[in-house]
Amino acid sequence: MFNNPNPQTSNSKWHKQLDKFVKENQQELAALFWGLWLENGNSQGTIGIDLKPHPHFVYCPQEAVEKLNERVEKRLQELLGIIDNNNPETEVLMIGIGQGEIKLIQFVPESSPRTCFERVNQDVDTLLELLEQKMIEQIAV
């Protein structure tokens, strides 16, 4: 009688876990975003969180996102516009990559990404290791 018409799928489960992870680690993610921006600008593409085989950071080259957009009948056009208009001085932008799905991760941290990077006071490699370990512990795929 009171069945949930939309039972939680494994896809929605990773979405919720990723949302929770991002919310709990905003300062560190903003610091990582800024550190990678300083190293590469947008030359490597957009930072992504690939959940398979285990959660880890990757780059999503612009060309690959554009090709994917073509394959899915331009349903990612809005995502491309968000990527093109991202302001790394004020907001963090990443792409979550799950089984057959992607999820936009975009937020404005309490402090600028630059300030987060200065506060965290860790190099990019250390931040990558720290955040990937936390993702492995908190996001079950």
Write the pLDDT tens digit of every residue in 49-71: 999 999 999 999 999 999 999 99
Mean of pLDDT values over 128-141: 94
Q: Which residues pair with 104 in a beta bridge?
A: 95
Q: What's the one-letter identity of residue 78? A: E
Q: What is the average pLDDT value for the chain, to the nearest integer?
A: 91
Whether residue 131 has pLDDT greater than 50? yes
Place of tokens 């309490």: 110
Question: 106, 93 in Cβ contact below 8 A?
Answer: yes
The helix (run of H) or strand (run of E) holding residue 98 is strand 92-98
Q: Which sequence spans correspond to the domains of the chain?
A: 13-138
The predicted model gives 67-83 an average pLDDT of 93
Query: What would the pLDDT profile of 97-122 be if each residue is shown by its tens digit?
Result: 998 899 999 999 999 999 999 999 99
State the average pLDDT over residues 18-46: 95
Q: HSE-up of 87 (CA within 13 Å, CB side)?
A: 6
Query: Is 23 a residue whose pLDDT tops 60?
Result: yes
Higher pLDDT, 122 or 1: 122
